[in-house]
Amino acid sequence: MTVAACVVELPVRRAAYQLLPLSELRRISDWCRNNQVHFHIDGARLWEAAASYGADLADLGALADTVYVSFYKGLGGLAGAALAGDRELLGRFQVWKKRFGGDVNTAFPFALSALDGLDKRLPRMPAYLDRARKLAAAFANRGFQTVPAVPHVNAFQVILPGEPASLMAATRGFAHRRGIWLFNAFIPAGDPDRSRTEIVIGDAAEHYSDDEAVSWVEELLRQDPAVSS
């Protein structure tokens, strides 16, 4: 079997936003170059990953042949993304960008919001990471399980008792009663009685304390008949 390309997502969202060790990422990069295999980093959250690694963005991106970055996730832009790589390779992608509908008539609002995110939110990534770790510790101190136990980036999962549908209904009820939206979705956590959900730290986290956040989730669970009964 011939390997044509290797793709690594940083961090892996479906694995609770976990990162490969930087040493492992470097070994993958070396192997790909030694074996003439194209190495691509899905770096939609590369900004967050760099803060966790304590690595320079340029050095991190240089490990791969191409890197995808998002402007609307951690940076909070309106929309849009970029593909970084060498000039010759990117030139070959131009036609595919057009074929896949990547060209828009007016792009400057997206560019301006991306630049604003780079100016205002990129420098705050280490602070987001620190807050995520403190919040995960607060959940653990109140008996909740977080995945990973110590967040790798500014996001992590919390394991809650209850089925996804029941917890989602409780979330809507909590929002109606308190005017606070806690979670967007729940997925099964490996057994019928537990679910996973995500917490992502950004600017909105400035408006609540760790204790408030955990207390809201405890109130949510008391509201869920499947849990409180």
pLDDT digits (tens, 9 = 90+) for 73-121: 999 999 999 999 999 989 888 888 888 887 778 888 999 999 999 999 9
Mean pLDDT of 13-34: 97
DSSP state of 18: B
Mean pLDDT of 11-38: 97
Cα distances from 17 to residues 94, 151, 224, in angstroms, run 31, 8, 27
pLDDT of residue 118: 97
Q: What percent of the chain has pLDDT over 70?
A: 97
Of 16-25, 31-40, 105-114, 144-153, where does mean pLDDT reach its minimum?
105-114
Checking DSSP bridges between strand 5-9 and strand 38-43, what pairing results, if any?
Answer: parallel
| Rounded CA separation 127/23 (Å) | 24
pLDDT of residue 46: 97
Domains and CATH numbers, the chain: 5-120 (3.40.640.10), 124-228 (3.90.1150.10)
Distance of CA 10 to the CA centre of its chain: 9
pLDDT of residue 49: 98
Residue 217 tokens, joined: 């989730």
pLDDT digits (tens, 9 = 90+) for 172-229: 999 999 999 999 999 999 888 999 999 999 999 999 999 999 999 999 999 866 665 4
Q: Spell out the residues 6+ positions from residue 28 whose beta carbon is closer than 8 angstroms to its own.
A: 6, 8, 20, 39, 63
98: left (phi over 0), alpha (psi -120 to 50) or beta: alpha
pLDDT of residue 224: 64
Reply yes or no on whether the pLDDT at 10 is more than 80: yes
**pTM of the entire predicted model:** 0.91
